Amino acid sequence: MKAMILAAGRGERMRPLTDSIPKPLLMVGGKPLIQWHIEALQAAGFTELVINHAWLGAQIESQLGDGAQWGVNITYSPEGEYALETGGGIFRALPLLQAEEDEAFLVINADVLTDIDFRQLPTRIEGLAHLLLVSNPAHHPQGDFALKDENVSSTGESLLTFSGIGIYHAQLFAACQEGAFPLAPLLRRAMQQGLVSGQWHQGMWLDVGTKERLQYANTVLR
């Protein structure tokens, strides 16, 4: 199974930090945020990685190179000056993500920090997606999706937060076309068909999406 790290976001809420540095390269705990993912993926046996980029993407390629220093092979999916959003970014990278037609792939938001052991995720899925959900953080108390008996739905009594980590099948994007579009509507349609499974990670998870949460992440890691 291959893994993709979503690294194309502009990082508006991080400005002015991200005016000259792409958000995935911001330092957290003494190393770039994206490096935490690369090392965790390599430790879990993922050696074929795809990274998309847009804003200041050349810096990401220059700093990470081909991934050899971490024992992985990195392929890049450039999106130009403007990012294609989550759904559009994954769709463009599909030719890089599938070694076999029926093979699923792992996708991770670059701007989260977690202690998940990626070996705890399934290597094959029955439906179109498998989502990692977490307890609702203070900045997102309403949650996103409900989890019951490993099935994920868009409504329920107690909603959890989508971690930005999921396993997807290319068929999730079967009706899509090149361009910018979000991932959430695709997931909700698949949920209506009962084709989305999930699990609840109760360990450490941080959305490093603002300057305040970046500072908090550094505090946690220290």
Q: What is the pLDDT of residue 73?
A: 98
Question: In this predicted structure, which of 10-14, 126-130, 174-178, 187-191 has the lowest mean pLDDT?
Answer: 10-14
The angle at the Cα of 100, spanning 68 to 179, to the nearest 5 degrees, equals 80
Indicate the average pLDDT of the chain.
93
β strands within the chain, DSSP E? 3-6, 27-28, 31-32, 48-53, 73-78, 105-109, 112-114, 129-134, 145-148, 151-153, 159-168, 196-201, 205-207
Is the pLDDT score of 160 beyond 90?
A: yes
Q: Quick one: pLDDT at residue 16? A: 85
Bridge partners of 77? 52
For residue 98, is pLDDT > 70? yes
Paired tokens of 159: 């909603």
Q: Which fold has domain 3-221?
A: Spore Coat Polysaccharide Biosynthesis Protein SpsA; Chain A (3.90.550)
Q: Which residue has the tokens 């935490």?
A: 36
CA angle 99, 25, 112 (to 5 degrees): 70
Q: Which of 6-15, 38-47, 63-72, 201-210 has the lowest mean pLDDT?
A: 6-15
Confidence (pTM): 0.94
From the list 60, 102, 101, 106, the residue with the least C-alpha distance to 83 is: 60
Better-predicted residue by pLDDT, 68 or 100: 68
17-28: average pLDDT: 90
What confidence category does residue 100 fall into, taking pLDDT thresholds of 50, 70 and 90? low
Domains of the chain, residue spans: 3-221
Distances (CA, A) of 77 to 40, 58, 164, 221: 21, 11, 19, 30
Residues 143 and 189: their CA atoms lie apart, in Å, by: 18
Distance CA 32, CA 95 (A): 27
Task: Indicate the pLDDT class of residue 99, thresholds 50, 70 and 90.
Answer: low
Cβ proximity of 161 and 133 under 8 Å: yes
Within 13 Å of residue 118, how many CA atoms lie on the same side as its CB? 25
Q: What pLDDT, in 10s, does the model give residues 104-159?
A: 999 999 999 999 999 999 988 999 999 999 999 999 999 999 999 999 999 988 89
Respond yes or no on whether the N-terminal peptide bond of residue 16 is cis (omega within 30° of 0): yes
Q: What is the pLDDT of residues 54-87, one digit of tens each?
A: 989 999 999 999 999 999 999 999 998 889 999 9
